[in-house]
Chain A
Amino acid sequence: MTAYVLRWGPPLCTLVCLGLMTLIVLNRDLSFIQADAASLQSFKMLFISLLLEALPFILLGVLVSSLLQVFVSDRTIQRLAPKHPIGGVLFGSLLGLLFPLCECGMIPVVRRLIRKGMPAYIGIVFILAGPILNPIVYASTYMAFRSQPEMAYARMGLAFVVTITIGLLLWRYMKASPLRQAQPALHHAHPHSSPAHSHTHMVHRKAQRGKLASALAHTSDEFFEMGKYLLFGALLTAAIQVSVSREAMLGLGEQPLVSSLFMMGFAFLLSLCSTSDAFVASSFSGSFQPGALLAFLVFGPMIDLKNTLMLLSVFRVKIVLWLIALTLVLVLAGAYVANRFYFS
C-alpha cells in the first residue's frame, strides 16, 4: 500500500501541478479558477513561505553533511560515536542542546553520519529529540504558555522519555541498516576523503580544489534529493491549511484521548517549525485540555507530514512506519498520564 502510494504519489502530484501551472498561465480565460483566486493566492503565500522558512536549514544541513563526507573520515566518526547503548541514546537525545537545528536540516546530516558508521539508533534518536530538546524551543514554549510554565517542563520531559524509549527499542530490535539503498560504511570509502586536512580555506588551492568541488557536488546533489520531498511536503501542507478550516475541528476538546489524537493529527498536517508551534498550540488552550496540547507539542516536531516525506527519502518504509507508530503510542500515553497527574 505504502509502496504503491510512494510509487504513484509524486507523479500524480506532478500531473496536478502541471495542470495548475497550465491554469496559471491561462488564468484569464478560466472563470472557475477566478472564483477561487483568493484561495489560490493564500495557497501560494503559504507554500512559498514554508519553503523559504525551510531553505536555510536544509541548505545548512546538506552543507554540513557534504563537509562531513569530504573532510571527516569514517574512522573518526566510528571512534567518536558512543559505544554503550545508554550512553548512545542519551548522547543522541541531548545533541540538540549543542545543535539547535530544525528537523529539515538534521535529516541529511544524520544520514551522512549513519553512512559513515555512527550507530543508526543514535541518529534516529537525534532526529526525534533534536527539534524539541533544545534551548530555543524551550524558551519559545515557556513564552507562549507564560501562565502555564508546566507546559514547557512537560514538553521537554515527555520528549526526553519518548526518545529514550524509542532509542532503546531501536538498539535492541533494529538489526539491519535502516537506510534506503544501504551500503556498509567500508564499501563506501570516498575517493577524495583522505583525513589529512580537516579544514579548507582555499589556502592550498591545488590540493584543495578537488575537495571543494566535491563538497559542492555533494551539496547540490543532496539539495535536489532532499528538496523534492520538502517541496512535496510543503505543497501538501499549504493545500491542507487553505482548505481545512480550524473551526470545523473544535468541539472535540472534551475527551482526553480523542482530543489528544486529534491534536496529534493536526500537528502532523500543519508541519510547523518547532520553534513557533507553541504559539499556535497556546491559541487552542481555551478549547483543548493541556494533555492534548502537550501531545501536539511533542508529536508534531517528531513526526509531521513534511518530515515524514523527508524520512522516507532516507530510511526504509518499514522503519519510518515503526517510528510513527511508536511515537504515536508513546506520546498518546504520555499525554494521558500528564493530563491526569501533572496538569491539575
Chain B
Amino acid sequence: MLHPILRAAILSGFAFLIVHLARTDQLGLYIAPRMELYVKLSALGLYAAAIYQVYAALRALGGKEEHAHDCGCEHPPSPSLLKNIAIYTLFILPLALGFLLPNTPLESTLAAKKGMSLNAAATLSSPVGTDEDVLFPHDTFTESYAALAKELHAVHGAIVIPEAQYIETLTALDLYRDPFLGREVQISGFVYRDASMTSTQFAIGRFAMNCCSADALPYGLLVEAADGAKYATDTWLEATGALQLTVYNGKPILQLSSPRLTQIERGDTPYVYPDYTF
C-alpha cells in the first residue's frame, strides 16, 4: 500500500520536474535541443506509470492482490526498512536538488575542471599551402573551414562570432591565423580566469554541448584588457578587438587585444551547439 503511493509520488515528481523545467524554458540548461522532445515524451511515460501506481494502491486498499506479486517474476520491494529508506532517498535526492536549488548554466567553475579550450583548431592539422596565391589552403577535411574562413575574410568591419556557428567560426579563425591578424573580431560569453593568465588577461567563452551537460566543453578566446580586472569571473561580456598572437602556456594562441568591453545579459540559451550540417 505504501510502496505504490511512494512510487507514484516519485514518478510524478520526475514528470513534474521535467514539465516545470520545460515550462520555465530551463530544460535547455540540462540537455541539447535535439534531446528535448524525448525528455518531454518521457515525462508523459512517467506520468502514465504514476497513474498506474495510484491504481495499484487503490487495488491494494480494496484488498486485491497486487499483480506484480502474484506473477512472481519481479522482485517485490525489499522487506528491510533501512534498505527501502536508502532506495527512496536515492530517488528523492535529484528531485530535491532539482526543485530546491536554482538552475544555473555551467560557467567558469566547471570550465576550470573541464579545461577551457582556447585554441579551437588544436585537433586539426593545419594544411600546408603549395600554391602561394591561395590564402586558405585546405584538404578534404578542412574544406568547409576554408570556405567559412574565406567568407569571414570578405566581411567588412568586425567579424562577429555568431551563436549558431560559434565553434566552427573559432576553429576557422584559429586554423588560418595569419590573414586574420589585426582584424576586428567580436565575441560574447562568460568571463573565465585561470592561474596561467596575467592580471589583465581573461578568456571569454561558452560551453558547447552535444547531448547533455556532462559532455559539454568550454571554448573561447583569450582577451587582454587593461581594465579587465573590474569584470568579475562569470560576468557576461561582449568584446570587440583586434586579433593578435600571444604565447599562453608555451604555445602561440590568438588573443583579442585591448577590446571594447560591454557587459551583456546572459541569453536564454547560454550554450552553443555544434552545427551538424557544417
Q: Which A residues fall within an 8 A CB radius of B? A: 10-11, 13-14, 17-18, 20-21, 24-25, 38-42, 44-53, 55-56, 59, 63, 69, 115, 140, 143, 145-149, 181, 183, 188, 190-192, 213-214, 216-225, 227-228, 231-232, 235, 237-238, 241-247, 270-273, 275-277, 279-280, 282-283, 285-286
In the complex, 17 of the A-B residue pairs with CB atoms within 8 angstroms, ordered by the A residue number, are A14-B86, A14-B87, A24-B100, A25-B100, A40-B101, A44-B98, A48-B98, A49-B30, A52-B39, A143-B274, A214-B71, A220-B49, A235-B90, A242-B110, A245-B115, A276-B211, A283-B115
Q: Which B residues fall within an 8 A CB radius of A? A: 7, 11, 14, 18, 27, 29-31, 35, 38-39, 41-42, 45-46, 48-49, 52-53, 55-56, 67-68, 70-71, 73-75, 82-83, 85-87, 89-94, 96-98, 100-106, 109-110, 112-115, 117, 122-125, 139, 141-142, 210-215, 217, 274, 276
Instruction: Give which listed residue, B52, B74, B91, B106, contacts A213 with CB less than 8 A.
Output: B52
- Evaluate contact between A270 and B214: CB separation under 8 angstroms: yes
* B97 CB contacts on chain A under 8 angstroms: 24, 44, 47-48
Residue of A nearest to B142 (CB): A147
**A245 to B115 CA separation, bound complex (whole angstroms):** 8
- Evaluate contact between A11 and B83: CB separation under 8 angstroms: yes
Max chain B Cβ within 10 angstroms of own Cβ: one of A45, A214, A237, A244: A45
**A276 to B211 CA separation, bound complex (whole angstroms):** 6
Residue of A nearest to B36 (CB): A52
- Evaluate contact between A38 and B109: CB separation under 8 angstroms: yes
- Evaluate contact between B30 and A45: CB separation under 8 angstroms: yes
A sample of 8 more A-B contacts (CB under 8 A), given A21-B93, A275-B210, is A18-B89, A52-B27, A55-B46, A147-B142, A228-B87, A242-B110, A280-B215, A283-B217
Instruction: Give which listed residue, B39, B90, B106, contacts A228 with CB less than 8 A.
Output: B90
| Complex A-B, nearest 5 residue pairs according to Cβ-Cβ distance, in ascending order | A276-B210, A14-B86, A56-B38, A53-B212, A49-B213
Max chain B Cβ within 10 angstroms of own Cβ: one of A52, A53, A244, A247: A52
* B211 CB contacts on chain A under 8 angstroms: 53, 273, 275-276
- Evaluate contact between B90 and A41: CB separation under 8 angstroms: no
* A222 CB contacts on chain B under 8 angstroms: 74
* B93 CB contacts on chain A under 8 angstroms: 17, 20-21, 231, 235
Instruction: Give which listed residue, B71, B86, B122, contacts A286 with CB less than 8 A.
Output: B122
